[in-house]
A = this chain, B = another copy of it.
Amino acid sequence: MPKTERWQWYVEQFSPSEEHRHAIEEFYYAGRTPYQSVGVVRTPAFGKMLILDGDTQSSQADEKIYHETLVHPALAAAADRSQILILGGGEGATLREVLRCPDVERATMVDIDAQVVELSKRYLPEWSAGAFDDPRARVIIGDALRFLDEDQSRYGAIISDLTEPLEDSPSHPLFGAPVFAAIKARLQDGGIYVLQASTAGVHNCGLHAKMARSLRGFYRHVRSFYTHVPAFDNDWAFIACSDAVDLAKLDERTIARYVDALPGENLFYDAQTHRRLFALPLYLRRELEKKGDTF
């Protein structure tokens, strides 16, 4: 194909001074839901990409890195994996990873944006890989905060896959002390709360540290972990919270037993990867030790 035919591009603007652009090999969708703008395209380097409000949400090439990291350390550490709650996660890949665990009896997923769920089923079936049809899946379209208030169940793990709490994001009200308290109220004793928690790069780890500081008032063990997700152009951080387990010290055999029980093969996560995820570099430990404001 002559070069000049590459006329469609996805341009992700990180800031007024930085952008990353990808040629679009196939265009699937662009539109707005009541909550956000949505795009679905395919690019040569990353395969299909889901774009929310102009930012890469996940890519076919590396979504497993993100979703295995979000789900499996928490589930490996959870004392009781029968009831799992997912906040957000509309594209269905978090649900997919949760349901791979044979101990899970019910995975409840609450996402506010029905259209993202529908668009993902239609254009990104590789993400959910049938999870939406699993009888153990309970998908609730609604506000996560209201659900937490009204729900009576308790969960062995709560997994928050919400977008970053930036000012104009639909996830903004979902961050702060009242929400942290509401989430903890839904955790079983000794349950695990894990959340995606902004970037961990040497030049952009401040918001993550603030999130970690905020959560330390609620849990005995608050552990940051992170991995580079190539399609995000960033080191992406997560936080695991628990009164019972320190995930940074989870022993290798526990992890290996958990991973061995999963059907299929992981791309990224196992005991050695767990060690990588929770071993933090100096700059990030220093940032996490700093005092500062909280949500």
Contact = CB atoms under 8 A, between A and B. Distances in A.
A204 B4 CA distance: 18
B23 A21 contact: no
Interface string A1-44: 11111111111111111111111111100100000010100011
User: How many copies of this protein are present in the complex?
Assistant: 4
Interface string A207-235: 00000000000000000000110100111
Contacts of A27: 27, 30
Contact of A39 (B8, B65, B168): B8
Interface of A is mostly: mixed
Contacts of A20: 18-21, 233
Q: Which of A8, A21, A268, A272 has the most CB of B within 10 A?
A: A8
Contacts of A25: 17
Interface stretch (A53-61, A110-118, A150-158, A183-191): A53-61
Interface string A257-295: 000000000111110110110011111010000000000
A30 to B, nearest CB: 5
B21 A19 contact: yes
Contacts of A266: 282
Q: Which of A9, A37, A51 has the most CB of B within 10 A?
A: A9
Contacts of A7: 10-13, 37, 39, 51, 54
A281 B275 CA distance: 9
A123 interface: no
Contacts of A181: none
Nearest to A200: B228
Contacts of A282: 266-270, 272-273
Given A61-B203, A279-B279, A282-B268, A11 B6 contact: yes
A22 B9 CA distance: 10
A202 interface: yes
A45 interface: yes
A125 interface: no
A103 interface: no
A235 B232 CA distance: 12
5 closest Cβ pairs, A-B complex: A228-B228, A276-B279, A17-B23, A4-B54, A17-B44
Interface of A: 1-27, 30, 37, 39, 43-46, 51, 53-55, 61-62, 65, 168, 201-203, 227-228, 230, 233-235, 266-270, 272-273, 275-276, 279-283, 285
